[in-house]
Structure 1
Amino acid sequence: MWFKRTKYVPALPDFLALCERNYAQLNRYLATDTQSGQSTDIQINPQHCYRLSVTDIARFTTTLRIELLQAEHALFRPGFVVRLYHDAQLAEVLSCQHIQRFKARYDYPNTEMLLPDEKRQINLLLRDWLKLCSAQGYVNRELAFS
Protein backbone atom coordinates (compact mmCIF):
# COMPACT_ATOMS: atom_id res chain seq x y z
CA MET A 1 0.00 0.00 0.00
CA TRP A 2 1.37 3.40 -0.98
CA PHE A 3 0.81 6.53 0.98
CA LYS A 4 1.52 10.11 0.19
CA ARG A 5 4.21 11.69 2.33
CA THR A 6 3.15 15.02 3.77
CA LYS A 7 5.62 17.88 3.74
CA TYR A 8 7.16 18.92 7.02
CA VAL A 9 5.79 22.23 8.25
CA PRO A 10 7.87 23.91 10.98
CA ALA A 11 5.96 24.60 14.21
CA LEU A 12 7.23 28.10 14.92
CA PRO A 13 5.96 28.39 18.54
CA ASP A 14 7.68 25.11 19.47
CA PHE A 15 10.91 26.15 17.76
CA LEU A 16 10.92 29.55 19.49
CA ALA A 17 10.31 27.89 22.86
CA LEU A 18 13.29 25.61 22.23
CA CYS A 19 15.47 28.61 21.31
CA GLU A 20 14.31 30.45 24.45
CA ARG A 21 15.29 27.51 26.68
CA ASN A 22 18.68 27.23 24.98
CA TYR A 23 19.24 30.98 25.47
CA ALA A 24 18.49 30.72 29.19
CA GLN A 25 20.80 27.71 29.59
CA LEU A 26 23.68 29.28 27.64
CA ASN A 27 23.48 32.48 29.67
CA ARG A 28 24.32 30.44 32.78
CA TYR A 29 27.81 29.91 31.34
CA LEU A 30 28.47 33.51 30.34
CA ALA A 31 29.82 36.21 32.60
CA THR A 32 27.65 39.29 33.14
CA ASP A 33 30.31 41.49 31.54
CA THR A 34 30.92 39.24 28.53
CA GLN A 35 33.63 40.40 26.15
CA SER A 36 34.83 39.11 22.81
CA GLY A 37 37.58 36.52 23.25
CA GLN A 38 36.29 35.40 26.63
CA SER A 39 35.92 31.66 27.13
CA THR A 40 34.50 29.18 29.59
CA ASP A 41 35.60 25.56 29.86
CA ILE A 42 33.04 22.93 30.76
CA GLN A 43 34.52 19.63 31.92
CA ILE A 44 32.02 16.77 31.47
CA ASN A 45 34.42 13.94 32.42
CA PRO A 46 38.21 13.41 32.20
CA GLN A 47 38.02 12.78 28.44
CA HIS A 48 35.52 15.46 27.45
CA CYS A 49 36.14 19.14 27.98
CA TYR A 50 34.31 21.73 25.92
CA ARG A 51 35.24 25.36 25.38
CA LEU A 52 32.54 27.98 24.99
CA SER A 53 34.18 31.03 23.38
CA VAL A 54 32.69 34.41 22.63
CA THR A 55 33.67 35.20 19.04
CA ASP A 56 31.61 38.30 18.32
CA ILE A 57 29.55 40.84 20.24
CA ALA A 58 27.18 43.29 18.60
CA ARG A 59 24.52 45.56 20.02
CA PHE A 60 21.77 42.93 20.17
CA THR A 61 23.66 39.68 19.52
CA THR A 62 26.53 37.58 20.79
CA THR A 63 28.09 34.78 18.75
CA LEU A 64 29.57 31.76 20.52
CA ARG A 65 31.72 28.86 19.39
CA ILE A 66 31.38 25.61 21.31
CA GLU A 67 34.06 23.02 20.62
CA LEU A 68 35.41 19.83 22.10
CA LEU A 69 38.98 20.11 23.39
CA GLN A 70 41.43 17.19 23.63
CA ALA A 71 39.84 15.39 20.72
CA GLU A 72 42.82 14.11 18.71
CA HIS A 73 41.51 10.54 18.70
CA ALA A 74 37.79 11.30 18.79
CA LEU A 75 35.72 9.95 15.91
CA PHE A 76 33.06 12.60 16.44
CA ARG A 77 34.05 16.14 17.41
CA PRO A 78 30.86 18.00 18.14
CA GLY A 79 31.01 21.71 17.67
CA PHE A 80 28.51 24.51 17.33
CA VAL A 81 28.39 28.15 16.36
CA VAL A 82 25.46 29.74 18.18
CA ARG A 83 24.04 33.24 17.98
CA LEU A 84 22.32 34.73 21.02
CA TYR A 85 19.65 37.33 20.20
CA HIS A 86 19.42 39.39 23.40
CA ASP A 87 16.40 41.48 22.40
CA ALA A 88 14.28 38.37 21.70
CA GLN A 89 16.14 36.19 24.24
CA LEU A 90 16.69 33.41 21.71
CA ALA A 91 19.69 31.20 20.90
CA GLU A 92 19.96 29.70 17.42
CA VAL A 93 22.54 27.27 16.08
CA LEU A 94 24.16 28.84 13.01
CA SER A 95 26.41 25.92 12.17
CA CYS A 96 27.16 22.47 13.44
CA GLN A 97 30.01 20.32 12.15
CA HIS A 98 30.32 21.07 8.43
CA ILE A 99 26.78 22.38 7.88
CA GLN A 100 26.06 26.11 7.93
CA ARG A 101 22.98 28.26 7.37
CA PHE A 102 20.21 25.81 8.05
CA LYS A 103 16.96 26.14 6.15
CA ALA A 104 13.67 25.93 8.03
CA ARG A 105 12.67 22.94 5.90
CA TYR A 106 14.44 20.57 3.51
CA ASP A 107 12.84 18.45 0.83
CA TYR A 108 13.46 14.78 1.40
CA PRO A 109 15.37 13.00 0.04
CA ASN A 110 18.08 15.52 -0.75
CA THR A 111 21.69 15.30 -1.87
CA GLU A 112 23.06 16.19 1.59
CA MET A 113 20.74 13.64 3.27
CA LEU A 114 19.50 16.25 5.74
CA LEU A 115 16.27 15.66 7.58
CA PRO A 116 13.24 17.75 6.65
CA ASP A 117 13.46 19.34 10.14
CA GLU A 118 17.28 19.53 10.31
CA LYS A 119 17.28 23.04 11.82
CA ARG A 120 15.04 21.87 14.68
CA GLN A 121 17.11 18.70 15.17
CA ILE A 122 20.37 20.67 15.45
CA ASN A 123 18.83 23.00 18.04
CA LEU A 124 17.54 19.92 19.92
CA LEU A 125 21.12 18.59 19.88
CA LEU A 126 22.28 21.84 21.49
CA ARG A 127 19.50 21.46 24.09
CA ASP A 128 20.66 17.92 24.88
CA TRP A 129 24.29 19.05 25.14
CA LEU A 130 23.25 21.82 27.53
CA LYS A 131 21.33 19.29 29.65
CA LEU A 132 24.45 17.13 29.81
CA CYS A 133 26.53 20.13 30.89
CA SER A 134 23.97 21.04 33.53
CA ALA A 135 23.83 17.50 34.91
CA GLN A 136 27.51 16.52 34.76
CA GLY A 137 29.59 19.52 33.87
CA TYR A 138 32.11 21.35 35.98
CA VAL A 139 32.53 24.96 34.88
CA ASN A 140 35.92 26.64 34.84
CA ARG A 141 35.58 30.29 33.85
CA GLU A 142 38.64 31.91 32.40
CA LEU A 143 39.26 35.24 30.79
CA ALA A 144 41.27 34.44 27.68
CA PHE A 145 41.43 37.44 25.44
CA SER A 146 42.84 36.99 21.97
Structure 2
Amino acid sequence: MSDIAIVRDYVQSLPKYITLCERNYLRALKLLPPEEHGAQRAIELANVHYVIEVQECAKYTTDIIIRQTSSSSVFFPSLHLAVRLYHDAKVAEVIHHDYHQRIKPSYRYPNPNMHQKDEKYQINAFLADWFMACLESGKVPLNWDVNNGLV
Protein backbone atom coordinates (compact mmCIF):
# COMPACT_ATOMS: atom_id res chain seq x y z
CA MET A 1 0.00 0.00 0.00
CA SER A 2 1.08 3.50 -0.63
CA ASP A 3 0.50 6.33 1.77
CA ILE A 4 -1.12 9.31 0.12
CA ALA A 5 -0.85 12.63 1.88
CA ILE A 6 -3.90 14.77 1.42
CA VAL A 7 -3.06 18.44 1.30
CA ARG A 8 -5.99 20.60 2.32
CA ASP A 9 -6.31 24.29 1.69
CA TYR A 10 -6.46 26.63 4.64
CA VAL A 11 -10.04 27.50 5.53
CA GLN A 12 -10.51 30.59 7.64
CA SER A 13 -12.87 30.50 10.62
CA LEU A 14 -15.36 33.17 9.62
CA PRO A 15 -16.91 33.69 13.10
CA LYS A 16 -13.45 34.14 14.62
CA TYR A 17 -12.43 36.58 11.87
CA ILE A 18 -15.66 38.63 12.09
CA THR A 19 -15.31 38.88 15.88
CA LEU A 20 -11.76 40.18 15.45
CA CYS A 21 -12.92 42.77 12.89
CA GLU A 22 -15.82 43.89 15.10
CA ARG A 23 -13.47 44.47 18.01
CA ASN A 24 -11.06 46.35 15.74
CA TYR A 25 -13.95 48.60 14.68
CA LEU A 26 -14.76 49.54 18.27
CA ARG A 27 -11.12 50.19 19.09
CA ALA A 28 -10.64 52.24 15.91
CA LEU A 29 -13.58 54.50 16.78
CA LYS A 30 -11.80 55.52 19.99
CA LEU A 31 -8.64 56.49 18.11
CA LEU A 32 -10.08 58.07 14.96
CA PRO A 33 -9.65 61.76 14.22
CA PRO A 34 -12.80 63.65 13.18
CA GLU A 35 -14.27 61.87 10.16
CA GLU A 36 -13.42 64.34 7.44
CA HIS A 37 -11.03 63.90 4.53
CA GLY A 38 -7.43 64.62 5.55
CA ALA A 39 -8.06 64.73 9.33
CA GLN A 40 -5.15 63.34 11.33
CA ARG A 41 -4.44 62.15 14.85
CA ALA A 42 -0.90 61.78 16.19
CA ILE A 43 -0.05 58.89 18.50
CA GLU A 44 3.12 58.25 20.45
CA LEU A 45 3.75 54.66 21.45
CA ALA A 46 7.05 53.56 22.99
CA ASN A 47 8.83 56.70 21.73
CA VAL A 48 7.70 56.01 18.16
CA HIS A 49 5.34 58.42 16.44
CA TYR A 50 2.39 57.33 14.34
CA VAL A 51 -0.33 59.17 12.44
CA ILE A 52 -3.86 58.00 11.73
CA GLU A 53 -5.19 59.85 8.71
CA VAL A 54 -8.68 59.75 7.22
CA GLN A 55 -8.25 59.07 3.50
CA GLU A 56 -11.85 58.85 2.37
CA CYS A 57 -15.29 59.12 3.94
CA ALA A 58 -18.40 57.66 2.36
CA LYS A 59 -21.86 56.94 3.66
CA TYR A 60 -21.08 53.39 4.77
CA THR A 61 -17.27 53.28 4.84
CA THR A 62 -14.27 55.23 6.05
CA ASP A 63 -10.75 54.52 4.79
CA ILE A 64 -7.88 55.37 7.12
CA ILE A 65 -4.12 55.12 6.84
CA ILE A 66 -1.95 54.24 9.83
CA ARG A 67 1.65 55.18 9.21
CA GLN A 68 4.78 55.44 11.27
CA THR A 69 6.40 58.87 11.09
CA SER A 70 9.51 58.21 13.16
CA SER A 71 11.80 55.22 13.10
CA SER A 72 12.58 53.08 16.11
CA SER A 73 15.41 51.24 14.39
CA VAL A 74 17.09 51.11 11.01
CA PHE A 75 16.51 47.34 11.03
CA PHE A 76 12.70 47.52 11.13
CA PRO A 77 10.64 48.86 8.26
CA SER A 78 8.15 51.63 8.97
CA LEU A 79 4.56 50.61 9.56
CA HIS A 80 1.99 51.48 6.90
CA LEU A 81 -1.55 50.03 7.03
CA ALA A 82 -4.65 50.93 5.03
CA VAL A 83 -7.77 50.09 7.04
CA ARG A 84 -11.40 50.23 5.91
CA LEU A 85 -14.18 50.73 8.46
CA TYR A 86 -17.58 49.41 7.37
CA HIS A 87 -20.13 51.39 9.39
CA ASP A 88 -23.16 49.35 8.38
CA ALA A 89 -21.57 46.04 9.46
CA LYS A 90 -19.51 47.68 12.24
CA VAL A 91 -16.27 45.95 11.25
CA ALA A 92 -12.77 47.21 10.40
CA GLU A 93 -10.19 45.31 8.40
CA VAL A 94 -6.78 45.90 6.89
CA ILE A 95 -7.06 46.16 3.12
CA HIS A 96 -3.39 46.97 2.29
CA HIS A 97 -0.19 46.75 4.27
CA ASP A 98 3.20 48.26 3.54
CA TYR A 99 2.07 49.47 0.10
CA HIS A 100 1.36 45.91 -1.11
CA GLN A 101 -1.59 44.80 -3.14
CA ARG A 102 -4.84 43.74 -1.54
CA ILE A 103 -4.58 40.93 0.94
CA LYS A 104 -6.22 37.67 -0.09
CA PRO A 105 -8.29 35.69 2.45
CA SER A 106 -5.82 32.80 2.21
CA TYR A 107 -2.72 31.76 0.29
CA ARG A 108 -1.39 28.43 -0.86
CA TYR A 109 1.83 27.62 0.93
CA PRO A 110 4.61 27.81 -0.12
CA ASN A 111 4.15 30.67 -2.54
CA PRO A 112 6.59 32.98 -4.36
CA ASN A 113 5.95 35.94 -2.04
CA MET A 114 6.16 33.81 1.11
CA HIS A 115 2.77 34.89 2.43
CA GLN A 116 1.43 32.83 5.31
CA LYS A 117 -1.69 30.72 4.78
CA ASP A 118 -3.68 32.91 7.18
CA GLU A 119 -1.91 36.20 6.49
CA LYS A 120 -5.12 38.25 6.37
CA TYR A 121 -6.11 37.05 9.85
CA GLN A 122 -2.60 37.62 11.21
CA ILE A 123 -2.44 41.21 9.91
CA ASN A 124 -5.83 42.02 11.42
CA ALA A 125 -4.75 40.40 14.70
CA PHE A 126 -1.66 42.64 14.61
CA LEU A 127 -3.95 45.64 14.09
CA ALA A 128 -5.95 44.56 17.17
CA ASP A 129 -2.75 44.33 19.22
CA TRP A 130 -1.59 47.73 17.95
CA PHE A 131 -4.96 49.33 18.81
CA MET A 132 -4.85 47.78 22.31
CA ALA A 133 -1.31 49.03 22.88
CA CYS A 134 -2.38 52.54 21.82
CA LEU A 135 -5.43 52.48 24.05
CA GLU A 136 -3.61 51.08 27.08
CA SER A 137 -0.28 52.89 26.97
CA GLY A 138 -0.16 55.24 24.00
CA LYS A 139 -0.19 58.99 24.36
CA VAL A 140 -3.33 59.97 22.46
CA PRO A 141 -6.54 61.83 23.27
CA LEU A 142 -9.39 59.33 22.91
CA ASN A 143 -12.85 59.72 21.43
CA TRP A 144 -15.17 58.61 24.20
CA ASP A 145 -18.40 59.42 22.35
CA VAL A 146 -18.25 56.50 19.91
CA ASN A 147 -22.05 56.48 19.48
CA ASN A 148 -22.19 60.05 18.13
CA GLY A 149 -24.31 61.23 21.06
CA LEU A 150 -26.99 58.58 20.57
CA VAL A 151 -26.74 57.15 24.09
Same fold judged by TM-score > 0.5?
Answer: yes
Shift of 1:68: 0.6
SS class of match (1:139): coil
Per the alignment, residue 29 of structure 1 pairs with 31
Per the alignment, residue 10 of structure 1 pairs with 12
Per the alignment, residue 58 of structure 2 pairs with 58
Structure 1 residues 28 and 140: CA distance shift in structure 2, 3 A: closer
Deviations 1:9-54 (A, max 9, x none): 01111111000000000000125x52111011111133x0110000
User: RMSD of the TM alignment (CA)?
Assistant: 1.9
Number of aligned residue pairs: 139
Per the alignment, residue 126 of structure 2 pairs with 125
The structure where strand makes up a greater share of residues is 1
Per the alignment, residue 115 of structure 1 pairs with 116
Instruction: Give the alignment's TM-score, normalised by structure 1.
Output: 0.87
* Larger Rg, first or second structure (1 or 2): 2
Q: Name stretches of at least 5 consecutive residues in structure 2 with no aligned partner.
A: 143-151
Structure 1 residue identity aligned to 2:55 = T
Q: How far, CA to CA, are the matches of 1:62 and 1:113 in structure 2? A: 30
Q: How far, CA to CA, are the matches of 1:23 and 1:100 in structure 2? A: 22
Aligned sequence identity (%): 35
Per the alignment, residue 138 of structure 1 pairs with 139
Q: Name stretches of at least 5 consecutive residues in structure 1 with no aligned partner.
A: 142-146
Contact in 2 for aligned 1:41/1:140 (Cα 8 Å): no
